[in-house]
A and B are shown apart, each in its own frame.
Chain A
Amino acid sequence: SYVLTQPPSVSVAPGQTARITCGANNIGSKSVHWYQRRPGQAPVLVVYGDSDRPSGIPERFSGSNSVNTATLTISRVEAGDEADYFCQVWDGSGDHPVFGGGTKLTVL
């Protein structure tokens, strides 16, 4: 089965840039989506289709995808960005979603 690998944690100071990676074999050929899950809340879609943002998501959130690594970049990090972030692709052979293990973003 297809496995997405994320770092367990990323820490960044307010105002700096956070980069959260999602690694997999040839992930650049797939469409990657990212979700934010604050404690006690439901996940929220923050990036879809590698780099598109849903309406209402700040421009500070951006995504990229190339070869074996997809990246969610959060610019000018704020305290409210502290959350778990999950990447997701669709496994066409199994016809189901695959999620990364999640990355906890800590704002120092």
Chain B
Amino acid sequence: QKEVEQDPGPLSVPEGAIVSLNCTYSNSAFQYFMWYRQYSRKGPELLMYTYSSGNKEDGRFTAQVDKSSKYISLFIRDSQPSDSATYLCAMKDKSGGSNYKLTFGKGTLLTVNP
């Protein structure tokens, strides 16, 4: 079983739809959870960063963490064509000393159609 599982999609939705992206994980040591957005031929950029279980909202984006179920989600409200990208979940644990290791999911390719 991989440490982080993410449905690769692709996911295609109409403009204005609510999008739900999900990841599950098996490593209980993961403490911090992130969502990165990666446009084609670009590097990933940090979208959301959460620590505790619960919801964190930033504009049209909501990150949800359920540590008991080892499940995280990213919701996008009122999706726009500019949201078309690959969304990567990422998690970190303490790999040793004060060093944190980041583990990524495979990414979900999202297309928002105008």
Q: Do A and B come from one complex?
A: no
A interface vs B, CB < 8 Å? none
**Residues of B near any A CB (own CB < 8 A):** none
